[in-house]
Amino acid sequence: MSDRTESTTLLHHKEFVRFWAADTVSLAGTAVTTLALRAVAVLTLGASATEAGLLEAARWLPYLLFGLVAGALVDRVRRRPVLVGTDVARAAVLALVPLAAFTGTLSMPLLIALMVVFGTLSLFYDAAHQSFLPLLVPTERLTEANSRLEQTRAGAQALGPLGAGALVKLIGGPLAVLVDAVSYLVSGLLLATLRTPERPVEAPPKRDLRGEVREGLRWVYGHEVLRPLALGSHAWFLCTSIAGAAYTMLVLDELRFDAFLYGVTFAVGGVGGLLGASLSGRLGQRFGLGPVIVAARWLTPVGFALAPLATSSTTGFVLLCAAQFVFLLSAILDAPVEMAYRQSITPDRLMGRMNGTTRSANRSMIVFGSVIGGGLADLLGNRAALWIAVVGLVVAALGITFSAVRRARM
């Protein structure tokens, strides 16, 4: 069957198309806010590297605190209402950022507090989102469906930061955040139109939240392939968040590139992500999921190794763009095949807990990594922090290479 026929067949799943459209709108706005919030912190509020790291950590702190519980709770309820409700609530939270800016009350503590609330809502959304996709398409199309979603993510990462940089320069960071608030509202309205029936949720004779959480943990960390895959991902998120915190300060503070050029580096990275999403499914079919995941994990340190070599010259800017290109290529080359594998082998009743457990631990690593990265950047310098992250990524890649992951197949 040709690629064209396969794509057309997937597009015939109308519920998936609407789900995909909602994801597209939301991701486009998120790409704007990710850059806009960093610009607000560094350029508007004068945040230090440590404060910028704390802001990034605040968004992911709920995954550390409530992640395991969220997965178990999502498995108890229908997932569509969770998706719609959290989207609308996130729109309201983000709208408070420009409101606070216009009333003169915006500060780093308030921004951090809003990101904690935003992160809590995102935690429940993510657990439901990854668990809902297998209801929309057949199992054999999960890799393709995840690839389509990752192509959207990569496109948003290519165009979003570019638009965000321009918006921040023209209207300021707070108003740029408002764009994302509107995108979440539109996404929620689109998701509300889905009519895919969900399985009836059967309540056990006695609810045991602790036991349900333990069951999810046993599934993820007791499985021959899921265990090293999860542990490797945790290390990957820790090291890339260390690198990300140092990268922001290197570009905006040390090298003095403006918000627009900062956005351009992420836009170039998004092009790498688009390439990764386009190749992921094909390479997975040809070589197997495991080898693709291993190769992607080795590409990540290669990308970040370019950043500390950059200067404020044109050549330095090209190196920063190349660093983001290789990083996003590696990240999104990995994501569709990894997610499809996890979704295909996990029973539906454990889907929320599997996603919640894995994602909460990964996002918890961002909490630690962002704070560590900011602290290392302030203490040792941005370039030293980046090199430390690169060494960590190499060690993580070695671990994946010699694990059962390399033999993973659908």
Residues 336-372: tens digit of each pLDDT: 888 888 888 888 778 878 877 888 888 888 888 988 9
Asked whether residue 40 carries a pLDDT value surpassing 90, the answer given is no
74: pLDDT confidence band, cut at 50, 70 and 90? confident
Asked whether residue 409 carries a pLDDT value surpassing 80, the answer given is no
- pLDDT, mean over the chain: 84
11-194+209-407, CATH topology level: Growth Hormone; Chain: A; (1.20.1250)
Asked whether residue 215 carries a pLDDT value surpassing 90, the answer given is no
Q: Which pLDDT score is estimated for 6?
A: 45
Mean pLDDT value across residues 142-156: 78
- Residues with Cβ within 8 Å of 165's Cβ and at least 6 positions away in sequence, in order, are 35, 258, 259, 260, 261, 262, 263, 264
pLDDT tens digits for range 76-130:
778 889 999 999 999 999 999 889 988 888 889 999 999 999 989 988 888 888 7
CA 402/CA 410 separation, integer angstroms: 19
pLDDT tens digits for range 303-332:
999 999 999 999 999 999 999 999 999 998
| Number of Cβ within a 10 Å radius of residue 35 | 26
Q: Which pLDDT score is estimated for 3?
A: 44
CA 34/CA 406 separation, integer angstroms: 33
- Residues with Cβ within 8 Å of 125's Cβ and at least 6 positions away in sequence, in order, are 82, 83, 86, 87, 90
Nearest to 293 by CA among 305, 276, 269, 306: 276
pTM > 0.75: no
Looking at the chain, the whole-number percentage of residues with pLDDT higher than 90 is 32
Q: Which pLDDT score is estimated for 2?
A: 40
Q: Which pLDDT score is estimated for 23?
A: 86
How would you classify residue 202: left for phi > 0, otherwise alpha for psi between -120 and 50, otherwise beta? Answer: beta
The number of residues in the chain equals 410
Q: Which residue has the higher pLDDT, 398 or 38?
A: 398
How would you classify residue 248: left for phi > 0, otherwise alpha for psi between -120 and 50, otherwise beta? Answer: alpha
